[in-house]
Amino acid sequence: MTVLVTGAAGFIGSYTAREFLKRGDRVIGIDNFHEYYDRRAKELHLEYVRADQIEEGQFRFYEGDIRDREKLEEVFEAEKPERIVHLAAMAGVPHSLKEPALYMDVNIDGTTNLADMAVAYEVENFIFASSSSVYGSRTDVPFSETDDVDSPVSPYAASKRMGEVLMYTYHYLYGLPVSCLRFFTVYGPLQRPYGMVIQRFMKQMEAGEPVTIYGDGTMGRDFTYITDITDGILAATDANYPYEIFNLGNSYSVTVLDVVKALEQAMNMSAERVFLEKPSTEVPVTYADISKAYRYLGYEPQVDFTEGVRRQYEMFQEMPEWYKTLKA
């Protein structure tokens, strides 16, 4: 099978490409190396992807922008992908307040371009990367796919919800099979270096600085280990449901204070805690009901949070100096 992975130089995209390669699929990657975080980190991700090829040429990469329809046509014409895992996006909640129009351009217009291509080239299945952020600011847990998602609290969250709705329209009009996967805070070795709390705390602690906690530290996140996410992505890609939405989480909410504790254990040090005002875009809790993903996809997360953090720090220690000092 030939799979197009958009955002292949990113954190989740590179792992996804690697898992497809390891089981023998052909993978086409596209990414524009957006400067949201350092290109060197993305080039490093691609090195890991290339190393996981079973045979030379199994992975082909295009540097390009999903907003560029001509570029997409070139890729589709040359490669004829059978399935699409669409992960390219402007990710991250806080930055979406700084550049909302860019988030809409990439996450909506870029997605529209890919949906058009999928229809024109009769793609068999389209996986859309959505986010737990669509559930908005609420405290009743766990979050289920049938819950109301009409109150996103950031441009990023709104763009992801719009992506789900847009993909429904393409499914309805053209019969394109679509699965929207709502990822819950994905972490693990090579985690997106910017805008993620584990990365921030890890770098602060490594530098001997206090960790900066938003609010009183009771905010909870359902952290999901990267290979659990890729298990879900591959299962959804193979399953070919007509149109479905799935939560991919760990189904366990960890408080920010517990993140610090897990890092203290993994790094064998204690951290000074500094408490800052909580931005309004930071939702109080995320917590996935994953029973639907289990029933439809056999999705069962394997890696518990303490172990995942230990692995993330272990790899971080082996990274070059420039990587360790990337802006978090």
Ligand X SMILES: NC(=O)c1ccc[n+]([C@@H]2O[C@H](COP(=O)([O-])OP(=O)(O)OC[C@H]3O[C@@H](n4cnc5c(N)ncnc54)[C@H](O)[C@@H]3O)[C@@H](O)[C@H]2O)c1
The catalytic residue positions are 156
Neighbours of 84 (CB within 10 A): 26
Determine if 87 is a binding residue for ligand X (CB under 6 A): yes
> d(Cα 157, Cα 133) in Å, to the nearest integer?
5
Determine if 237 is a binding residue for ligand X (CB under 6 A): no
| Torsion angle, alpha carbons of 118, 34, 16, 74, to 10 | 30
Take residue 250 and report the two structure tokens written for it: 């760990």
Contact, 159 vs 172, CB < 8 A? no
**Smallest distance from ligand X to CB 9, Å:** 4
Nearer to ligand X, 255 or 273 (CB): 255
**Smallest distance from ligand X to CB 103, Å:** 10
> d(Cα 69, Cα 73) in Å, to the nearest integer?
6
User: Is there a cis peptide before residue 100, judged by omega within 30 degrees of 0?
Assistant: no
Q: Which of 65, 145, 231, 258 binds ligand X (CB under 6 A)?
A: 65
Instruction: Provide the angle, in degrees to the nearest 10, between the axes of the packed helices 305-317 and 256-267.
Output: 50
The one segment of 87-95, 146-154, 164-172, 231-239 that binds ligand X by CB under 6 A: 87-95
Say how many residues touch ligand X, by CB under 6 A: 29
The one segment of 52-60, 64-72, 172-180, 274-282 that binds ligand X by CB under 6 A: 64-72
Name the residue among 47, 92, 43 with its Cα closest to residue 199: 92
* Interaction pattern, residues 130-169, with ligand X; x per rule: CB under 6 A: -x--------------------------------------
> d(Cα 285, Cα 222) in Å, to the nearest integer?
8
Take residue 56 and report the two structure tokens written for it: 């030379």
**CA 130, 134, 139, 141 torsion: positive or negative?**
negative
Determine if 234 is a binding residue for ligand X (CB under 6 A): no
Q: Which of 3, 4, 5, 13 binds ligand X (CB under 6 A)?
A: 13
Which bin fits 146, alpha (ψ -120 to 50), beta or left (φ > 0)?
Answer: alpha
In the complex, which residue's CB is closest to ligand X? 10
The one segment of 29-37, 165-173, 198-206, 291-299 that binds ligand X by CB under 6 A: 29-37
The residue type of 243 is Y
Determine if 46 is a binding residue for ligand X (CB under 6 A): no
* Interaction pattern, residues 104-133, with ligand X; x per rule: CB under 6 A: --x---x------------------x-x--
Q: Which of 89, 114, 127, 290 binds ligand X (CB under 6 A)?
A: 89
Residues of this chain that interact with ligand X (CB under 6 A) are 7, 9-13, 30-34, 36, 42, 65-67, 87-91, 106, 110, 129, 131, 183, 185-186, 192
